[in-house]
Amino acid sequence: MKDSSGVKRILLDANNGDFKLSQATFDVTTAGDDDLIWSSDFNAFKITDIVTKTVSIASGARTGTVTVAHGLSYTPGFVAFGEFSSQESNPPLIWYGLVSNLIRVVRIINVSTDATNVVFQFIQDLNQSAIDVDFKVYLVREIAS
């Protein structure tokens, strides 16, 4: 397919199933890998599941643990984003909020994953009042080698 300036930018090869998208001004049929935005030949990750969880840290406690059972037949990779109160999501799972004019921090201190679960351990700063933090986990798998 050509873009509005007449440059071939999208390739879907019916013979081998390749799909490629070139950068602006580069003909996708002759572009090198560095000139492509995306190629089915590149290593890529596919989102296999999205899980939403809440970690609850009790009053007087500093840590909390959440287990995400993934139900996959392999140990997945993952990306996680969190939300503290009404603030925007902040990778890498660090949240800042104001409590009694003090900055409050909640962050991940450990993550482990195996054939059945991804386990997140959280810690909060010295302000030890109860807190709930929502986060979203994107489980991924590699689709090309």
122: tokens are 């959280």
- Ramachandran quadrant class, 26 (left: phi over 0; alpha: psi -120 to 50; beta: rest): beta
Which tens digit of pLDDT belongs to each residue from 15-46? 888 899 999 999 999 999 999 998 888 877 78
- Does the domain at 45-142 match CATH 2.60.40? Answer given as yes
67: tokens are 């287990």
Which tens digit of pLDDT belongs to each residue from 99-139? 444 455 667 778 888 889 988 888 877 666 777 777 788 88
Parts of the chain belonging to CATH 2.60.40:
45-142
Which tens digit of pLDDT belongs to each residue from 89-98? 444 444 444 4
